Amino acid sequence: MSHADQPMPLSARRSGPLSGQALVPGDKSVSHRALILGALAVGETRITGLLEGKDVLDTAAAMRAFGARVDRTGPGEWSVHGVGVGGFAEPEQVIDCGNSGTGVRLIMGAMATTPITATFTGDASLSRRPMGRITEPLALFGAEITARDGGLLPVTIRGAVDPLPIRYHTPVASAQIKSAVLLAGLNAPGETVVIEAEPTRDHTERMLTGFGAQVRTEVTDEGRMITLYGQPELRPQTVAVPRDPSSAAFPVAAALIVPGSAIRVPGVSRNPTRDGFYVTLAEMGADLTWENDRDEGGEPVADLIVRHSSLRGVEVPAERAASMIDEFPILSAIASLATGRTVMHGVGELRVKESDRIDAMARGLEANGVTVEETRDSLTVHGRDTVAGGATVATHLDHRIAMSFLVLGLASEAPITVDDAGPIATSFPDFLPLMRALGADIG
């Protein structure tokens, strides 16, 4: 599935039982970080299991533009010859991060304390997303930044000549903000401190430690406090990227709602900063069996067996939002087939993802016969015995909206069509063949 300029509509129809094994691709968050830290280490980092989705390929191209040598050596196998902390060269071209908020925000952080200038741009979706949340802390390091009105892309950053370390409270729970500050802190002397009220995914901290940086995490009254000691020499690593729990959520959800299904999903993350969806499913009565707990690429993982289940609606507390922030679209899709209502609290951040995901899910569900209520930062889905389906859903260049409705279509009365499946290639290029191999009728 490549994202051509032309929209690519796709429909999902009621399917027979799903079975088999779902080998989902590498974790998107870990893949971006492996390329960026590889580019900031001195010497050759080897990566296996890299997600070869468009978002990550755009980050690979950006690392080349900043002077790293980045080569694909086999399927999912990449080699990165890094230039060292502070060693980025000034790119000759504008850095186009496509659809990827993670890519653009982390790369801005990684270059903001090196005395070079770079301009960042992206697609129509990324160009609507807030960058002020990143450029504000980067300016505190001494970087000079210009953006379009409202803090939007294109953004130009003149990296700080004499960067100062900062102490920063993240204003919203966001691993992207935390990570941008930590990556900028790499080339500032002394201690850079980030404090987050709610824990967010901790892949940056884990991987920085793996590359030899000194990172300390403490739980304080103010929240989680992460301290990075600046100007380390990062040592190249071998990074085995674990599978992506956010991608796994789609086949898992499909098996839960299609009667008679039983599938196996190997290597699902059990990292407590990423597992909120699976905690919620257990509360909804999902039949989940975890086997073979182990460590892969510095992340705790296990194999998951999931069977069709009668789900009941639940209240998802605001404190859990960060640990499942990308899974709310698929949760709201399957909540429409649960008994009773599912209320998702504290999900305002969904409004500034690849699309306004509260609005996109609400409109798409309503169009397919489901009753929903929304506030600025909550979404309530009223479950029912069957979902009518039959509508075409606007996906707004959002891969997860597209996949969520294609999954729901596997169990709705009439087929569900998405207006453009192209963006699925940003995070899950093999979604279609993988789902079809399980028995899903999508085409």
CB-based closest residue to ligand S3P: 29
Residue 131: CB minimum distance to ligand S3P, A: 11
Nearer to ligand S3P, 147 or 175 (CB): 175
Cα–Cα dist 380/375, whole Å: 9
Residue 241: CB minimum distance to ligand S3P, A: 12
Residue type, 223: G
Q: In sequence order, what E strands does 89-205 have?
A: 95-96, 117-121, 144-148, 152-158, 167-169, 191-196
Residue 439: CB minimum distance to ligand S3P, A: 28
Nearer to ligand S3P, 111 or 391 (CB): 111
Positions touching ligand S3P (CB under 6 A) are 29, 102, 174-176, 179, 200-201, 325-326, 349
Asked whether the beta carbons of 379 and 354 are under 8 A apart, the reply is no
Which residues have C-beta within 8 Å of that of residue 188, sequence separation ≥ 6?
Answer: 113, 141, 160, 163, 164, 165, 166, 230, 231
Asked whether the beta carbons of 237 and 41 are under 8 A apart, the reply is yes
Residue 307: CB minimum distance to ligand S3P, A: 28
Residue 90: CB minimum distance to ligand S3P, A: 26
Longest CA span, the chain: 62
Residue type, 187: N
Nearer to ligand S3P, 95 or 337 (CB): 95
Nearer to ligand S3P, 88 or 328 (CB): 328
Nearest to 354 by CA among 166, 97, 172: 97
Nearer to ligand S3P, 276 or 439 (CB): 276
Options 123, 202, 244, 326, the catalytic residue: 326
> Kind of pairing, strands 262-269 and 117-121?
unpaired
Which residue blocks in 186-306 are alpha helix, DSSP H? 203-210, 245-257, 276-283
Q: Is 275 a catalytic residue?
A: no
Positions annotated as catalytic residues are 326
